[in-house]
Structure 1
Amino acid sequence: MMDTFDFQLPEDPPPDIVAIAQLGTAVHQLAAAVDALHQQHRQLRETVERSQLISAGPAGGQAMPWPLRWRDLDRDAAAQTWAWLIDWVGWFADRYEVAEEIPACWPQHPPLVEELTALAAGWHACYDDTAHPDGPLLWHERLTRARDRLRGWDDNTRCRNGTHTTRARDLIWPDQWHAEAIDAANNDLTGRPQLAGPEPERVPS
């Protein structure tokens, strides 16, 4: 942002000096407006670039982001991971003809997101330049087991023909499960033999 324009006119200045001061003030205001517009344009461009990470079509094989731990990703890292995964799953479903095994609404099912993320990571790793020659074969053997799991998830959700169905949870853990788990862990620690040294740490709650 430009510095504030501050020009003090002398008392009873001639008209030409007044005109020059007014012109200077107008130029300064215009420069400030242009600077503000530039800042807004830069922010808009950054916003568009971030949104395009997800809205863009298939990129023809994006580089695998890392790490892939969904629970640890911030917004920017998650945007890159989503773009990469959507691109890969679209290719995978067409190449391996598994559209009947993976519902189109898979991004709305966290278990499917995790399963497909693992498959995509394994696929990228097995075809890496430094991978062992039998890497692709091992990946396809694991794909066979993964397809059984994918069909199992689909049996639970029963999403068909683009219609998304939220999976019903018949049983959920009670609210106090975490505190009870901590108590059980600390009880287990108390019963274990201790080597000479300081007191063992307790599991933080």
Structure 2
Amino acid sequence: MSSPWVEDEDLDTEVRENSETGQNKRPGVGTPLPHMDPEIAAELLAEGPPAWFGVRWREIPPEQQWDAWNGLRRWVDWLIHEYRVSAQEIPDCWYHHPDITAELYAAMCMEYKVWEEQAPGLSPMMMWHPNLQQMLYRVRAMTEKAGCANNGGHQEPTGYKSGIGAYERDYNETDWRVHASTIRRAELVDRPETGVRYVRAAAVSAKGERLAVSSPIGLRADAPLPDAHVGLEFGSMATGKAELSATVVGTPEDAGLVWEQSTDGQDWKTIADEKDPD
């Protein structure tokens, strides 16, 4: 499929011969795909992709945008022909729709990437084709929303407010400034040892002037811990062994636990750890 802007015969003879014979290829640089614009193909063979290829579409410099549009159009024409894409999926005026253009450009970059290594792999089957179908579903929804394919020509969407575009927002600037200027800060404040401590926050200007003061919050002292208590219950029983479970309540964080034993319930001794002899 020939480019409407650059004819195939304009491609430099040396580049064409290198493309056909596979000679003089730089290691690691992919072979240009047949649907690429000849000038793009020359850049791919020489020094890799063109400068705009892979750059965010909105960040392509003005001096490269003509080449970028031409390269993308040639790729889209190839995609439509190769995968039998209908106008209900990609309308003739796709380039008037930024959302569809973004999808197609992203797909163009991906399709190049999966073939770039020139080696058998899973990327074309596992990455390109599944994502191509998902991309076409998304583009079809965009096309249906735009309504261009059904009307036979491109139409700009209309907004609900007079003089406001469909994809423009007439913000309440006062509400926006209030929301955007809202700040949230946290502070760890110690509780008092006894009684109540009241705390509030004040907004101050750069000069130290008070702008606003919050309502106070009362911080009460920590309640004393309940009396210490240890509960004991059976876990499981086995021949010669009994598993006991102890629950400790109301002790300081650094408190420990010891196990004691007695033969008469009066005289208690700590159970020593039994260790195997060396």
TM bracket (short chain):
0.5 to 0.7
1:80 to 31, 50, 67: 67
State, as a whole percentage, how many aligned pairs show the same letter.
24
Over 3 Å counting, the alpha-carbon distance change for 1:192 and 1:58 in structure 2 is farther
User: Which residue in 2 is equivalent to 1:12?
Assistant: none
Matched, 1:56 2:52: no
Q: Greater share of helix residues, 1 or 2?
A: 1
1:39-118 matches, within 5 Å, as 56-57=5-6, 60-61=35-36, 62=40, 63=44, 64=49, 65-100=52-87, 101-118=89-106
Structure 2 unpaired stretches of 5+: 9-34, 161-165, 188-278
Higher strand share: 2
Stretches of structure 1 that go unaligned for 5 or more consecutive residues are 1-53, 195-205
C-alpha RMSD of the superposition: 3.1
Q: Is the 8 A contact 1:102 1:154 kept in 2?
A: yes
The residue number in structure 1 matching 2:26 is none
Matched, 1:150 2:139: yes
Matched, 1:129 2:117: yes
Q: How far is the alpha carbon of 1:68 from its aligned partner?
A: 2.6
Q: Deviations over 1:23-51 (max 9, x none)?
A: xxxxxxxxxxxxxxxxxxxxxxxxxxxxx
| Alpha-carbon distance in structure 2 between the residues aligned to 1:182 and 1:91 | 48
Q: Does 1 or 2 have the higher relative contact order (CA < 8 Å, sep 6+)?
A: 1
- Count residues with an aligned counterpart: 139
Q: If you compute each CA radius of gyration, which structure gives the higher value, 1 or 2?
A: 2
Structure 2 Cα separation of the partners of residues 143 and 71 of structure 1: 22
